[in-house]
Amino acid sequence: MRYHDRKRILVTGGAGFLGSHLCERLIDLGHDVLCVDNFFTGTRENIAHLMPSSRFELIRHDVTFPLYVEVDEIYNLACPASPIHYQFDPVQTTKTSVHGAINMLGLAKRVKAKILQASTSEVYGDPREHPQTESYWGHVNPIGLRSCYDEGKRCAETLFYDYHRQHRLRIKVARIFNTYGPRMHPSDGRVVSNFIMQALKGEPLTIHGDGAQTRSFCYVDDLIGGLVSLMNSPEDFTGPVNLGNPGEFSVRELAEQIIALTGSASKLEFKERPSDDPTQRKPDITLAGKILGWGPTTNLHDGLRKTIIYFQGLLGS
């Protein structure tokens, strides 16, 4: 990489699942990466392999407090992403999304950095349109147990667009759909990690409801490619843009694939569905294809295989 193409890039939430893969990718691309994390759900193990690199730096910091650093680009990923983690301290979750966004946007404004927000398909809530396109405004409960996350992320999007309109900030907003892969937290209660851990331990796989609710699952390497393409997209393109895998699987199908791939003797166990659990989730990624030339390339079978190997390693150690 030529010297003037090399950027100083801040990744908030860089020690988390997606953040650690993003830091790795950006270093591989030749950039200098500053990872900021308060280790609420992220771990040192996720980034241990990056520590020896002279192009990687780590700061322990909570994004709800201001940060003063010199950078060219900011990827704002800091926020617990799984219901178990974001419902543990819902007030802190909203603060992380909202105050975190204000602090990072303030930083971007001061140092004239380009900034990308890791938003979520949860801004669509329990959608009445299927599949969801970016023009859909969503169907969100403002006072439910998931609201700290959903509404926090919606407010963060509002802040991004107001900073763009009011202060001409260069912004990018990605609406990320369910993503899975190595370095997911083993006890985050998300469906993929849950099922794999249960299958590997020979425990029953817990399905909420009858398992007919559908989800789309994007492999982490694909998603990271989408985030980097979005950051480098034409200046006048802000998004929001859906990033995910449109392949739709019922939760029951996922459980059955994981049992087959792990060779587990586990059975399925059906439990009551939690409130606000969406019945259908599938991204329309037409816009990402058109503007970014992006689409996922890893199929569920291959992605699950790599993820299972990672979890086997965790259990082994």
Ligand X SMILES: NC(=O)c1ccc[n+]([C@@H]2O[C@H](COP(=O)([O-])OP(=O)(O)OC[C@H]3O[C@@H](n4cnc5c(N)ncnc54)[C@H](O)[C@@H]3O)[C@@H](O)[C@H]2O)c1
Shortest CA distance to 78 belongs to which of 47, 41, 107, 46?
41
Shortest CA distance to 176 belongs to which of 134, 226, 121, 229?
121
Task: Tell the burial category of 243 from Cβ atoms under 10 Å away from its Cβ (0-12, 13-18, 19+).
Answer: buried
Closest CB 21 distance from ligand X, rounded Å:
8
Closest CB 161 distance from ligand X, rounded Å:
17
DSSP-derived secondary structure letter, 132:
B
Catalytic residue check, 149: yes
Question: Which is the catalytic residue, given 75, 86, 124, 149?
Answer: 149
Give residues in contact with ligand X (CB under 6 A).
12-13, 15-19, 37-42, 62-64, 77-81, 85, 96, 100, 118, 120, 176, 178-179, 185
Closest CB 82 distance from ligand X, rounded Å:
7
3-state secondary structure of 215: strand
CA–CA separation, 106 and 312 (whole Å):
42
Phi, psi (degrees; rounded to nearest 5) at 301: -60, -50
- Decide whether 44 or 112 has the Cβ nearer to ligand X: 44
Closest CB 46 distance from ligand X, rounded Å:
7
- Decide whether 60 or 165 has the Cβ nearer to ligand X: 60
Closest CB 267 distance from ligand X, rounded Å:
27
- Decide whether 245 or 262 has the Cβ nearer to ligand X: 245
Secondary structure (DSSP) of 65-89? S------SEEEE--S--SHHHHTTS
- Decide whether 3 or 68 has the Cβ nearer to ligand X: 68
- Decide whether 64 or 250 has the Cβ nearer to ligand X: 64
CA–CA separation, 89 and 27 (whole Å):
33
Residues with a catalytic annotation lie at 149
